[in-house]
């Protein structure tokens, strides 16, 4: 943990150095563009760890212009805002209670995706929030927003309006799984009801505000089918809305992170790259960074931190199914180097996902969806115990006749954790390599 804090300090120092270079770099980046994106060179690395302020993805003015956004956002304030989710506060599940008790400060640093939204996503925009006329984070992610112009370039207001229109009609470059993941991860309690997932998506991807309502069906479909997501029963004693809370299955969080990065941040393949490979070899492919002003070390720093978070023993996961994690305890964030105390399943999950082609993603996890549902229905008490997990680990039925049971069932979690120490080490080394690449001493 001390090393982590020192890394943060080093990041801060580096950030200041980067900022000094900022203007010079901006000039360079103005000369480049890629798919309409121009990322800030001087990414605030503090932000990478979820220390940022409120979400700035969309200006209120623009949001109010979107039909139907107002009512959707009302229920969202508790999610993206500072407060805690009322439902989650009262949720009876160990997850919700343990998470909500925390206040989430350190948890925010280690697990949330604010860094993604406010940096990776937002910094895809032209020069950051001050320069972006539209609040949509996909504003410049999508390639059809016109050529990128640097923040210092003379992007006319007409051009901005044009891009804004495009942002409203262009589909987000993320799958529903990732959208849901981002929504859930950005919530203080790491769990959201469906309606607030809708709200988050609507707020951050205005495209859906004008899209046919089928996308909500898709969201629900994903939540049900994708075993990355778990249902958490709300508190029975309080009538606080329909349905359940949904959270990210900790076992598949690395997969989601990887899918997220594969979708837009191919530097993520460093996660699957053995540490022996040269650091630069794990740099994002040219097609991605080409023209982007996203310094590779920035990406690496971000991915390194995520990898650290994903690495066994470094992960703080409120959704840990091994039992409620009381994040209010000061030792809740102690970094364990003991594999036996590793409550993270990322290594196996990562291995699973890296075993497939680059297209490996989330729905491969759907193979077990039916079993998950079975166990949900058997007792929808939210999270499974290990025994419960073992149940849906070992049953081998497949969901549909169209999906042959090419089941990559997670093996028993504990057994897997103990059986993959070398993989754990690789992950740690990879994290170290990435941090080193980013100029951070781990």
Partner DNA sequence: GCACGTGTAAACAAAT
Partner DNA sequence: GATTTGTTTACACGTG
Q: Could you list the residues that contact DNA (CB under 7 A)?
A: 171, 174-177, 193-195, 198, 212, 214-218, 220-225, 231, 239, 241-244, 246, 259, 356-364, 366-367, 369-370, 373-374, 376-377, 380, 399-404, 406
The residue written with tokens 């291995």 in the block is 351
CA atoms within 13 A on the CB side of 353: 31
| Longest CA–CA separation in the chain, Å | 61
Whichever of 20 and 221 has its CB closer to DNA, that residue is: 221
Closest approach of DNA to the CB of residue 403, in Å: 6
Whichever of 26 and 354 has its CB closer to DNA, that residue is: 354
Give the three-state DSSP class for 247. Answer: strand
Whichever of 160 and 351 has its CB closer to DNA, that residue is: 351
Strand locations in 161-201 (E): 191-193
Closest approach of DNA to the CB of residue 400, in Å: 5
Closest approach of DNA to the CB of residue 115, in Å: 21
Give the three-state DSSP class for 112. Answer: coil
CA distance 226 to 373: 10
Closest approach of DNA to the CB of residue 197, in Å: 8
Whichever of 49 and 383 has its CB closer to DNA, that residue is: 383
Closest approach of DNA to the CB of residue 394, in Å: 18
Kindly calculate the radius of gyration of the chain based on its CA atoms and give it in whole angstroms.
21
E strand or H helix at 245, and its extent? Answer: strand 245-248
Whichever of 159 and 398 has its CB closer to DNA, that residue is: 398
What separation in angstroms does the CA of 352 have from each of 311, 370, 423, 426? 15, 19, 12, 15
Closest approach of DNA to the CB of residue 32, in Å: 24
Q: Which residues of 255-288 are buried (b: 16+ CB within 10 A; e: fewer)?
A: bbbbbbbbbbbbbbbbbbbebeeebeebbbeeeb
E strand or H helix at 100, and its extent? Answer: helix 94-102
Give the three-state DSSP class for 246. Answer: strand
Closest approach of DNA to the CB of residue 129, in Å: 26
Strand locations in 96-228 (E): 191-193
Whichever of 125 and 360 has its CB closer to DNA, that residue is: 360
Whichever of 354 and 360 has its CB closer to DNA, that residue is: 360
Helix H, strand E, coil C: the string for 124-147 is HCCCCHHHCCCCCCCCCCCHHHCC
Closest approach of DNA to the CB of residue 347, in Å: 18
Dihedral over Cα of 103, 106, 111, 116: its sign? positive
Whichever of 109 and 393 has its CB closer to DNA, that residue is: 393
């Amino acid at each position: 943990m001390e090393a982590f804090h020192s890394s943060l300090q080093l990041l801060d120092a580096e950030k200041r150095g980067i900022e000094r270079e900022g203007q010079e770099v901006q000039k360079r980046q103005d000369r480049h563009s890629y798919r309409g994106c121009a990322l800030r060179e001087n990414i605030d690395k503090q932000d990478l760890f979820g220390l940022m302020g409120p979400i700035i993805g969309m200006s209120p003015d623009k949001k109010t212009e979107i039909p139907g956004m107002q009512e959707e956002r009302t229920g969202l304030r508790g999610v993206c805002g500072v407060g805690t989710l009322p439902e989650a506060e009262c949720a009876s599940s160990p997850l919700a209670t343990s998470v909500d008790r925390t206040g989430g400060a350190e948890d925010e640093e280690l697990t949330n995706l604010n860094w993604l939204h406010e940096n990776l996503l937002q910094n895809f925009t032209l020069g950051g929030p001050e320069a972006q006329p539209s609040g949509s984070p996909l504003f410049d992610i999508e390639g059809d927003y016109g050529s990128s112009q640097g923040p210092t370039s003379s992007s006319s207001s007409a051009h901005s309006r044009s891009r804004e229109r495009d942002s409203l009609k262009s589909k987000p470059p993320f799958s529903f799984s990732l959208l849901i993941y981002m929504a859930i991860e950005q919530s203080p309690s790491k769990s959201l009801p469906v309606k607030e997932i809708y709200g988050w998506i609507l707020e951050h991807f205005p495209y859906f505000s004008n899209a046919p309502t089928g996308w909500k069906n898709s969201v629900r479909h994903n939540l049900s089918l994708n075993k990355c997501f778990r249902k958490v029963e709300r508190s029975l004693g309080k009538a606080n809305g329909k349905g359940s809370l949904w959270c990210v299955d900790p076992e598949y969080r690395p997969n989601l992170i990887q899918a997220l990065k594969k979708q837009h941040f191919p530097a993520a393949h460093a996660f699957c790259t053995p540490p022996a490979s040269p650091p630069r070899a794990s740099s994002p492919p040219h097609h991605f960074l080409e023209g982007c002003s996203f310094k590779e070390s920035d990406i690496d720093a971000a991915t390194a931190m995520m990898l650290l978070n994903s690495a066994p023993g470094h992960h703080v996961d409120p959704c840990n199914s091994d039992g409620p994690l009381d994040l209010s305890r000061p030792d809740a964030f102690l970094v364990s180097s003991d594999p036996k105390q590793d409550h993270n399943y990322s290594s196996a999950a990562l291995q699973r996902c890296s075993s497939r082609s680059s297209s490996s993603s989330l729905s491969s996890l759907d193979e077990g969806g039916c079993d998950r549902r079975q166990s949900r229905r058997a007792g929808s008490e939210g999270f499974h115990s290990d025994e419960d997990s073992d149940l849906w680990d070992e049953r081998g039925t497949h969901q549909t006749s169209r999906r042959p049971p090419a089941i990559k069932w997670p093996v028993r979690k504990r057994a897997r954790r103990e059986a993959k120490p070398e993989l754990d080490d690789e992950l740690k080394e990879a994290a170290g390599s990435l941090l080193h690449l980013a100029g951070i001493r781990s």
